[in-house]
């Protein structure tokens, strides 16, 4: 756009020397630049005889999209090949994606990206970045990331429909999704792992399970340094990773651990439940507090090798099966032991608030076998073979006999 000024162009570094009646034009220049940068809709047609992004005949405007264009890659259109352009990344204003695109160079989206279906893949030979300022995943169809693509999202990730499936290129690495803004799971959506190595998903902002009454699953390697909030349904983790941000669980909601994860110097609060499910391992590093904890069959509660750590269960510990190994676990309120499965203990327990007649005494409801190797028991006395009741008034009755096995001749006691 050419603009004719009513005065000769000035080369002065500032307003000094320009007549007062002409200075008003200096404020017009930024506004004109904003008009030039206003987004223009541009749609991929693929009608140029080849798949190249930089072929202008492949676009409905007959112009290669620039930094001020809103790009649409529609469903059922020919595949897009985004190849290198003089060693520089490509920049657009926004992207709506429901087709297929192969990336051999990085793409910068200065605004939001909307993704309803289709796939984005890298050829493996190029480590590419897709930088977006807001990512919106919608529609019931799955979306696929293939190869060593790094998705860097600096704003909201609004996920309301369709699973995200991650595929790795053997020998070149997995997809990586890094979020510095809020990740909002607004339905029962999941990050699914197709092959090895698993994808990497990180969140420095808030990770929320905000919608859907069922299960949202995050596979792959997960690193969360921001808050985790489960406000609806269940958030299931079945890959590996570390959570160092605070966790809050609303009433009736669950954070499910079905693989190996570490809680590092953090707290898990709220009336919901942190559940270590079958074959799940929860390691605690530093000082960790959990309000309500559940151990299922074949689960493991432990600490990282070579560390000194303490886990405090401030509310209810529901022990159905599995192993408590190493470290120091403090039950400050209620420990419930039940189920037919064996329980194994190898560590240090403390129940500072256990007193006869006080809420929080352990209750056994079904036959249970505990095996201990070198456990230090602290608190009040724990009778290992009982048929009727715990010692002291107000303590729960036993419905069936329970026994405790240990390598010691003497039965262990709470001291």
* 8 Å CB contact between 368 and 402: yes
Are both 90 and 73 inside the same structural domain? yes
159-203 pLDDT tens trace: 999 999 999 876 678 899 999 999 999 999 999 998 778 899 999
286-304 pLDDT tens trace: 999 999 999 999 999 999 8
Nearest to 386 by CA among 375, 400, 396, 372: 400
Report the percentage of the chain scoring pLDDT > 90: 56
Range of the domain at 187: 112-120+130-161+176-405
Per-residue model confidence as pLDDT tens for the chain (415 residues) = 444 444 444 444 444 555 544 444 344 334 434 434 567 899 999 999 999 999 999 999 999 999 999 999 999 999 999 987 666 889 999 999 999 999 999 999 999 999 999 999 997 777 899 999 999 999 999 999 999 999 999 999 999 999 999 998 766 788 999 999 999 999 999 999 987 788 999 999 999 999 999 999 999 999 999 999 999 999 999 999 999 999 999 999 999 999 999 999 999 999 999 999 999 999 999 999 999 999 999 999 999 887 888 899 999 888 888 888 877 888 777 777 777 777 777 766 555 544 433 444 444 443 333 444 433 333 333 333 323 333 333 333 333 333 444 333 334 333 3
The answer to the question of residue 236 being in a domain is yes
Q: How many CA atoms lie within 13 A of 27 on its CB side?
A: 5
Please state the separation of Cα 314 from the chain's center in Å.
Answer: 25
The answer to the question of residue 244 being in a domain is yes
Are both 91 and 116 inside the same structural domain? no
Are both 93 and 140 inside the same structural domain? no
The answer to the question of residue 214 being in a domain is yes
The answer to the question of residue 317 being in a domain is yes
CA distance 151 to 92: 15
The answer to the question of residue 12 being in a domain is no
Are both 95 and 152 inside the same structural domain? no
Are both 335 and 206 inside the same structural domain? yes
The answer to the question of residue 335 being in a domain is yes
Are both 81 and 228 inside the same structural domain? no
Are both 155 and 64 inside the same structural domain? no
* 8 Å CB contact between 368 and 345: no
The answer to the question of residue 24 being in a domain is no
The answer to the question of residue 21 being in a domain is no
**Predicted TM-score of the model (pTM):** 0.79
CA distance 395 to 361: 6
Are both 141 and 87 inside the same structural domain? no
Are both 295 and 333 inside the same structural domain? yes
Are both 72 and 154 inside the same structural domain? no
CA distance 390 to 397: 7
Number of domains in the chain: 2
Are both 147 and 272 inside the same structural domain? yes
Are both 296 and 220 inside the same structural domain? yes
């Amino acid at each position: 756009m050419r603009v004719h000024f009513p005065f000769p162009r000035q080369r002065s570094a500032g307003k000094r020397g320009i007549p007062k009646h002409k200075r008003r034009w200096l404020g017009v220049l930024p506004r004109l630049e904003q008009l030039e940068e206003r987004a223009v809709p541009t749609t991929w047609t693929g009608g140029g005889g080849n798949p190249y992004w930089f072929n202008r005949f492949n676009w409905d405007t007959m112009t290669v999209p620039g930094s001020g264009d809103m790009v649409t890659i529609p469903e059922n259109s020919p595949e897009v090949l985004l190849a290198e352009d003089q060693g520089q990344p490509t920049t657009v204003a926004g992207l709506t994606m429901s087709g297929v695109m192969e990336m051999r160079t990085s793409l910068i989206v200065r605004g939001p990206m909307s993704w309803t279906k289709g796939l984005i893949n890298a050829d493996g030979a190029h480590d590419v970045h897709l930088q977006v300022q807001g990512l919106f995943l919608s529609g019931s169809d799955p979306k696929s990331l293939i190869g060593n693509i790094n998705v860097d999202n600096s704003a909201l990730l609004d996920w309301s429909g369709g699973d995200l499936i991650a595929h790795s290129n053997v020998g070149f690495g997995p997809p990586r999704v890094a979020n510095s803004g809020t990740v909002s799971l607004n339905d029962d959506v999941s990050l699914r792992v197709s092959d090895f190595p698993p994808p990497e998903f990180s969140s420095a902002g808030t990770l929320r399970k905000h919608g859907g009454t069922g299960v949202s699953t995050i596979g792959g390697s997960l690193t969360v340094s921001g808050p985790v909030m489960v406000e609806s349904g269940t958030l299931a983790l079945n890959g590996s990773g570390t959570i160092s941000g605070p966790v809050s669980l609303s009433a009736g909601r669950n954070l499910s651990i079905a693989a190996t994860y570490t809680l590092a110097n953090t707290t898990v609060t709220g009336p919901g439940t942190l559940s270590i499910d079958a074959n799940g391992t929860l390691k605690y590093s530093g000082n960790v507090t959990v309000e309500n904890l559940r151990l299922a069959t074949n689960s493991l509660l432990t600490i990282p090798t070579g560390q000194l750590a303490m886990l405090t269960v401030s509310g209810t510990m529901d022990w159905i099966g599995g192993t408590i190994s190493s470290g120091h676990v403090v039950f400050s309120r209620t420990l419930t032991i039940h189920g037919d499965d064996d329980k194994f203990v190898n560590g240090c327990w403390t129940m500072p608030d256990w007193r006869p007649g006080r809420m929080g005494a352990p209750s056994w409801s079904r036959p249970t076998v505990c095996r201990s190797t070198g456990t230090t028991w602290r608190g009040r006395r724990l009778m290992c073979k009982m048929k009727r009741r715990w010692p002291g008034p107000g303590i729960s009755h036993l419905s069936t006999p329970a026994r405790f096995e240990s390598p010691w001749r003497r039965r262990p006691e709470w001291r």
